[in-house]
Amino acid sequence: AKLEELRTLRSCFAEMFTFPSCHRMPLQHYQSLAFDLCHELVLHLLHFKQLKETELDGMVRNPRLVRGRSMNEDEIKQEFTDNALLQEKLNLQVFKLVLEFVNNPTQLSQLARELHQEKEMDNAIDVSGKAQDILKLRYADRLRYEALMKQLIDRSRLPQGAGGGVSEEIQEILTEIDSFRHQLSDPIESLRNSILSLADIMIEAARAENREEILEAQSILVFKMQMSVDKFEEVHTLVGDEKWESEIRDDLLSYVHAYDPTLPGSPITLVAKIELLVREKWWKEALEHRPVPTAADASSSIEVLKLLWFAVESNSPDSLGDLVETIKAFTIKEFQKFNLNSMDALLDLMQEGFPREIFDLYSKGSEIMMTNSSSKKYKMYVDFLVVMKNRLLAVGLVDEWNDFIAKVRKRENRKKNLINMLDVHQLGV
């Protein structure tokens, strides 16, 4: 009966290609039929295995009752050998069909969970592996699609003269996006969770069967799905120091370095990415991901810049100049938004080593505030000047401060309220 079911299964798939397309059943119909038949075969196989184990156990305990005659030790051993060969043969036949015909990852995942529950660990690994391979392809497609969408948005924001509009480059991006649309299925978070769920099955099964290559591959995959420090260290512990240093570590860090944490559904933030790279002394690579100022809230970018500052300062202080330019750009942007204190922590770091840049920044900030402020913001401006004075005097730029405040008082001498506030705070020569 089971052989007949196998023939039926094969003929179903053959039928799909012998009839004209207009008369074919939908592919999902054949996939569902294939799974139902394969699933039934697996259940029969597991049931048969259980029956044989019960029979063999009874044969050992009461050899006369099983076959109606007494069996010697050699006959019992032969029964065990024959059963093992039969089980192996049936197992190969059934799971060859499963891996050949069942291509729905949801159905494969269901079967993998059942096999895992029944302690059929090797088969659970094989079935999980096929489901995972399908999901990983979908995951890669989704990542590429999201990257293209981000690229399209970035290009579309450029002015016409700088390559905006429907340029040849944008048209190429649109064409590639269209090629992905029909392949996309679940959201990236759902795909990631499904892959990780299968990884849990494979890791436990690999431990049970001493499949070290599976355990290593799945642990690396879990890290790439999550990119956490804990998973990074788990892989290190698993593979050992020698293999870690020679093969694995740099590969994992390269993956993190190349991953864009701004894509939808990213498992890692830019701050966490920089933390990991800096932690592993990849500060040069981390510098490549320094943020750029935008109209959005800068708090996370400021955290990134602080991480980068400490990393560069401890490894190559002479390279801080490049980072200072980024901090200056952020500071000006924050001054324009009247966020006068948000950059204090970074400016504190800059102050001693780059006093001239501090003076230039606050001079520019003063200009921005007086160009765009009304009398209602005089108090904010005076507070700003108090901070500027304290910073400049702390690094010995007394003459620069005196020249600056003298020019301010001269330029704004008609604004009596402002001048009075400057006097109250002793902001003068």
- pTM (two decimals): 0.78
pLDDT of residue 189: 94
Could you tell me which residues come within 8 angstroms of residue 329 by beta carbon, excluding any fewer than 6 positions away?
292, 293
Residue 394 maps to a domain: yes
Residue 371 maps to a domain: yes
How far lies 72's CA from each of 54, 66, 313, in Å? 19, 13, 80
Q: Determine the Cα–Cα distance for residues 38 and 42; give it in Å rounded to an integer.
A: 6
Q: Determine the Cα–Cα distance for residues 38 and 173; give it in Å rounded to an integer.
A: 42
Residue 409 maps to a domain: yes
Torsion sign (Cα): 25, 29, 35, 38: negative
Task: Please give the average pLDDT of every successive group of 10 residues along the chain, which has 429 residues.
Answer: 56 54 50 64 66 60 55 58 56 66 85 87 90 94 91 77 64 86 83 97 95 97 97 96 95 97 93 95 94 86 93 92 93 92 94 94 92 82 93 94 92 88 82
User: How many domains would you assign to the chain?
Assistant: 1
**Tokens found for residue 124:** 């659970």
pLDDT of residue 19: 47
pLDDT of residue 22: 44
Helix H segments across 157-183?
168-181
pLDDT of residue 204: 96
- Host H or E run for residue 5: helix 2-18
Residue 186 maps to a domain: no
pLDDT of residue 101: 72
Residue 234 maps to a domain: no
pLDDT of residue 424: 87
Domain that holds residue 328: 288-428
How many Å separate Cα 67 from the centre of its chain? 60
pLDDT of residue 181: 75
pLDDT of residue 137: 93
Residue 337 maps to a domain: yes
Residue 180 maps to a domain: no
How far lies 385's CA from each of 407, 414, 421, in Å? 13, 18, 11
pLDDT of residue 63: 57
Residue 260 maps to a domain: no
